[in-house]
């Protein structure tokens, strides 16, 4: 049989593209989860005291400051508190 390059075999190319797509999608999901974990940790460390661990605006300092923070989970506050924020669960 004459040697046909592997990439010229339709099935081979299709499987290769599907495999690569799966790898890229899995990597994006892994990155997204890692970024959310970093952001979540940062929020707990730097923001939760006022905004509350669940971002509801009921942190332990919320009543001790002049103006309590709003509920960040309702999407009714000024940017960056808007639909660009990723949903965490």
Q: Which residues bind ligand HEC (CB under 6 A)?
A: 46-47, 49-51, 61, 65, 67, 69-70, 72, 77-78, 80-81
CB of 45 to ligand HEC, least distance (A): 8
Tokens representing 60 are: 């332990």
**Nearer residue to ligand HEC within complex by CB, 58 or 70:** 70
CB of 75 to ligand HEC, least distance (A): 10
Burial class of residue 57 in the structure, from the number of CB atoms within 10 Å of its CB (0-12 exposed, 13-18 middle, 19+ buried): middle
If you search the block for the tokens 């999901």, which residue do you land on?
29
């Amino acid at each position: 049989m004459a040697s046909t390059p592997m990439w010229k075999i339709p099935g081979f190319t299709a499987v290769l593209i599907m495999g690569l797509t799966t790898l890229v999608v899995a990597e994006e999901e892994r990155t997204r989860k890692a970024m959310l974990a970093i952001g979540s940790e940062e929020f707990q460390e730097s923001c939760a005291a006022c905004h509350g661990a669940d971002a509801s605006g009921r942190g332990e300092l919320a009543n001790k400051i002049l103006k309590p923070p709003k509920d960040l989970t309702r999407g009714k506050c000024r940017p960056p508190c808007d639909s660009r924020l990723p949903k965490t669960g």
